[in-house]
Structure 1
Amino acid sequence: MSSKPPTEKLPSIFSTQDIVLDTAYQGIDNKNWKSLFRQAREANVEQFIEDLFTGKPVNNSENRPALHSALRNLDKKPVLVNGKDVMPDVVEVWRRIEGLCNKWIGVTDVIHIGIGGSDFGPRLAIEALAHVPDIDSRGMRMHFLANIDTAELNRILQRAHPNSTRVIIVSKSFTTLETTMNARAVVKWLKDNKRNDVQISQALFAVTANVPAAQEFGVAKDNIYPFWDWVGGRYSVWSAVGLPIALQYGFDTFKEFLAGAQAIDQHFKTAPLEENLPVIMALCLLYQQKKHQIKSYAVIPYADALDWFPKWLQQLDMESNGKSVGRDGMPMKYSCPVVFGSSGSNAQHSYFQLLHQGLEIIPIDFIAIREPMSHLSEAKAHHRILLSNCLAQAQALANGKKTDNPNNTYPGKRPSNLLILPKLNAFYLGALLALYENRTATLGALWNINSFDQPGVELGKVLAKPIEAALNKGEAVEANESIDAITAQRINLFINP
């Protein structure tokens, strides 16, 4: 009687560029992994990846490619859009950014005005790289102005020096309401501080696809950096939107940031699905979604430098894949879960009670860095405690604990990934962001969702216009075709408190 040969156990640890992904606590066995990879092939993920990088119109609702990968294509290999190689234009922007870095002298403050994708990426990068030990920095004060609430504007204007401030206005259309209103307020501040028109024009820079609108606003043509319709806002930090990174930390650091992302792109394009980190991360989430009907997931970077990372990821995932209909216009059974998170170990003292003992199973991505982020004498000891907490939380969530006291019982079987970066610098920050960008795109392919448009953000903008007009008029309103009865009542609460 012959016995069956032992089933080969599929690996749970994957790596590229010294980045390690450990999926052991996902609880996915060989049979399910094989099924997941079969689903990926049935969803034509491999063809989707090829289409993504070769300029096919993967944004089918707007008939556009999604070629943010071209922005970090440091090899300068041709990338065609409608038969035209876009790389010469990209390279020209690199040349101009480097030139600006070399001549931007005596600047104390930079006010970067943008919202959404024009804000999250550069804000995250500036904050994260500020923690890199011994990084070469100009030490300028980088102010990010996004909110239309004047509290943020006022705080910035109280700190900035008008005579040595530069202003970067970032808007693809140059019509974004929050951005243009904030930009006008900053220009007024410059005028109020005795800056003349020539000085103001020299202080203003713009990143936009609408060059005429930027010029009409008062930005000199030489200070306008182009944006292309094949780049979505939430994927734009690799473009001139990332100017603050180069200006603060130097063009070489900006290139390292691009190089990290390019390395992940190469891996995503060439690795088989069974070894492809973005694909494997996407399949982990898909598995938990189908098995447990999860409605949310958490990302917990055990690095204070990455505290902004979950906020960046919220836009990336939920604006890309937070949809109820697929590419074919049909209703979807699955789409993007709610994304939340913050840096560990702070997060443990906030919502980890829910993660351990709540009714809902919430998968987690733990992100850890091998090296401490400072040269303090206490750094190694503190970092050892930090990593211990990261590993312990994953173990406790997975294994749980049974006791006679229900209050002290942990159900366990809470899935998680562990992502390990060898260090946090510009290269690995770029790699981390590109890893999640490509994972988000893979999820869109698996769900048959267009990850590159965002029609859901428009309705509220349209409805805000008649409401603002009513508030400005200052008279009681009644419900009409633009304002429903409840909103009319609420408007009147502001007009007549």
Structure 2
Amino acid sequence: MSVSSWPGLKALAAQQGSLRQAFAEDPTRAEQFSTQACGITLDYSKNLINRQSWQALQQLAAQSRIKPVLNAMLAGEKINNTEQRSVWHMMLRKTDVSGLMLDGENIGDAIHDCRKRMTALVSQLHNGEYLGYTGKTITDLIWVGIGGSLLGPQMAVEALTPYHCSPVRLHFAGNIDGAVVSDIVKGLNPATTLVFVASKSFGTEETKQNALAIRQWFKDHGADGAAIARHFWATSSNISAATEFGIVEQNILPMWDWVGGRYSLWSAIGFPVALMIGNAHFAELLKGAEAMDTHFTEAPFSDNLPLILALLGIWYINGFGCQAQALLPYSHYLRLLPSYVQQLDMESNGKSVDVNGVAVTDATAPVIWGDAGTNGQHAYHQLLHQSALAVPADFILPVKPAHKLSDQHQRLAAHCFAQTQALMQGKTLDEATEECLAAGMSGAEAAVLAPHKVSPGNKPSNTLLLPELSPYYLGALIAMYEHKVFCQGVLWNINSFDQWGVELGKQLSGPIYQALSGAAADKLDSSTRALIKVFTEQK
């Protein structure tokens, strides 16, 4: 059963009442609509649900194909049907990978070997044992990738800043904008710089062009082929393309077609994370994700964290017509999490046809956006509170800070909880009027100002509390959002693991690049031809 075959969703949504009233009438509401898994507490009581509607959503999940599709995924079946690929990223974070077989290949041994090679390289770099072509210790590493090969490791490295222990400095090169590489190499020495190229196909344009620019930088400083081979590593499934580039095969870590880019943090794509936080802490990141995997596969639907979040998302997108969701981490270190989840959610479920190629009749993925609190409170929270738009929000807060400014952290928590309360209860016209009068305004003045201070309330939110922002809990948090996206994909009956929509722009950029270089542009539309004309005249 999918969402499209459940006709009562919109009608049931229309029957939901006031959150403020619901809390006033039921002192046990917070207890009823909260749960915990892997140390993460989820309070979903500030959502537009009651016992009846929540039971109905649970029934939708029970009648869906979530369990069968999950079992098929775990069994290695090719649930990515458009690319005929298995979806086995969960295997990358299993503690015991022995005996894992897929299509006749010993995947367990391959995963173990990759982990062993990653661990060895991290240790060499931390101990100053990996020397460059002039015999000097490596001081900097440039990670070259884009999309899932960049967003995951960059977010995790940022999130786990307090755990950094690497003597090697890390630089991320993603965007094809030449300013990226130009700025990175300023002040670096090729003799002490290692380069890691992350590309499954080794043909992604942005990654390849950045790698070529960095390789040229080495050559400009006198490095020959042997020196470049010493300083370039890769993670790729296209060994021949990587070796043709000049990377020796023993410096290439594997990528497998059964793990998509946005689910690849747990593979060699996580090398920058292991480099910065150390091998032991990287292992904790995997353990946290594995713990959430166990919870997701074994917990009943009524207490299943990812499924609860997935059902609430379905409820708002398809029941209320919401088109966006805010992701609001109240943690400076988690400020890149919204960007990471943007790709995870929007690239996975931003689809217009179902698994059979039939046009979907319901909206799918929302627009994900957000930033670290409390910055957002002085920017877009105005829209959240008073706009007619309904934007469900996830608030995420680590309980224990990674610093000693405990009073500031307590104030941060106060702001986080206050925002969810304000979104839920709002401020009525009577309350706004009374507030104006208490401030010394006349009745006439209060009547003019009070309407501008009204907040409608009834704006839904979830609150997720992490005991602390450690590798373990970050791993669990990321895996939780992965499984949420999976559940929603099944409920919409779409393939969450392909991304054909990104191909068209790539295909069209080739002829346009040729036109920018002087080739005929007569087959392009008039707007694009005009833009090319202005660009070529002014460059």
RMSD (CA atoms): 1.6
Residues 75-474 of structure 1 mapped to structure 2, 5 A cutoff = 75-76=96-97, 78-104=99-125, 105=128, 106-130=137-161, 132=162, 135=163, 137-332=165-360, 333-375=362-404, 379-403=405-429, 404=433, 405-473=450-518
Contact 1:113 1:183 in 2 (8 A): yes
Q: Report the Cα distance in structure 1 between the residues aligned to 2:365 and 2:204, rounded to whole angstroms.
A: 26
The answer to whether the aligner puts 1:493 opposite 2:539 as a matched pair is no
- What is the CA-CA distance between 1:450 and the residue it aligns to? 0.5
Matched AA of 2:461: S
SS at match of 1:167: strand
Superposed CA offset, 1:420-467 (max 9, x none) = 100011111111111101111111011111000000000010000010
- What is the CA-CA distance between 1:416 and the residue it aligns to? 0.4
Corresponding residue of 1:3: none
Residues 20-31 of structure 1 mapped to structure 2, 5 A cutoff = 20-31=41-52
Structure 2 unaligned regions, length at least 5:
1-25, 129-136, 434-449
Contact 1:101 1:251 in 2 (8 A): yes
Q: Report the Cα distance in structure 2 between the residues aligned to 1:467 and 1:197, rounded to whole angstroms.
A: 33
SS at match of 2:195: strand
TM-score of the superposed pair, with normalisation by structure 1: 0.94
Superposed CA offset, 1:278-316 (max 9, x none) = 000000111112332000000000000000100000000
Contact 1:356 1:410 in 2 (8 A): yes
Matched AA of 2:368: V
Matched AA of 1:490: L
Matched AA of 2:49: I
Q: Report the Cα distance in structure 2 between the residues aligned to 1:163 and 1:459, rounded to whole angstroms.
A: 40
TM-score of the superposed pair, with normalisation by structure 2: 0.87
Contact 1:55 1:79 in 2 (8 A): no
Matched AA of 1:365: D
SS at match of 1:25: coil
Contact 1:113 1:168 in 2 (8 A): yes
Contact 2:98 2:109 in 1 (8 A): no
Corresponding residue of 2:19: none
The answer to whether the aligner puts 1:14 opposite 2:45 as a matched pair is no
Q: Percent of counterpart pairs with the same letter?
A: 40
SS at match of 2:92: helix
- What is the CA-CA distance between 1:77 and the residue it aligns to? 5.0
Corresponding residue of 2:525: 484
Contact 1:345 1:389 in 2 (8 A): yes
Moved more, 75-84 or 49-58: 75-84
- If you compute each CA radius of gyration, which structure gives the higher value, 1 or 2? 2
Q: Report the Cα distance in structure 1 between the residues aligned to 2:507 and 2:153, rounded to whole angstroms.
A: 28
SS at match of 2:69: helix
- What is the CA-CA distance between 1:334 and the residue it aligns to? 2.1
Q: Report the Cα distance in structure 1 between the residues aligned to 2:408 and 2:532, rounded to whole angstroms.
A: 52
Contact 1:54 1:80 in 2 (8 A): no
Matched AA of 1:17: C
Superposed CA offset, 1:160-205 (max 9, x none) = 2221110000000000011111101101111212223222111100
Q: Report the Cα distance in structure 2 between the residues aligned to 1:289 and 1:408, rounded to whole angstroms.
A: 28
Superposed CA offset, 1:476-497 (max 9, x none) = x5531xx222211211121234
Contact 2:35 2:303 in 1 (8 A): yes
CA 196–394 in structure 1, closer or farther in 2 if over 3 Å, else same: same
Matched AA of 1:62: E
Superposed CA offset, 1:323-379 (max 9, x none) = 11111222221200100010001111110011101121000000001011213xxx1
Size of the aligned set, in residue pairs, is: 481
SS at match of 1:26: coil
Q: Report the Cα distance in structure 2 between the residues aligned to 1:137 and 1:354, rounded to whole angstroms.
A: 40
Runs of 4+ in 1 over 6 A off after TM superposition: none
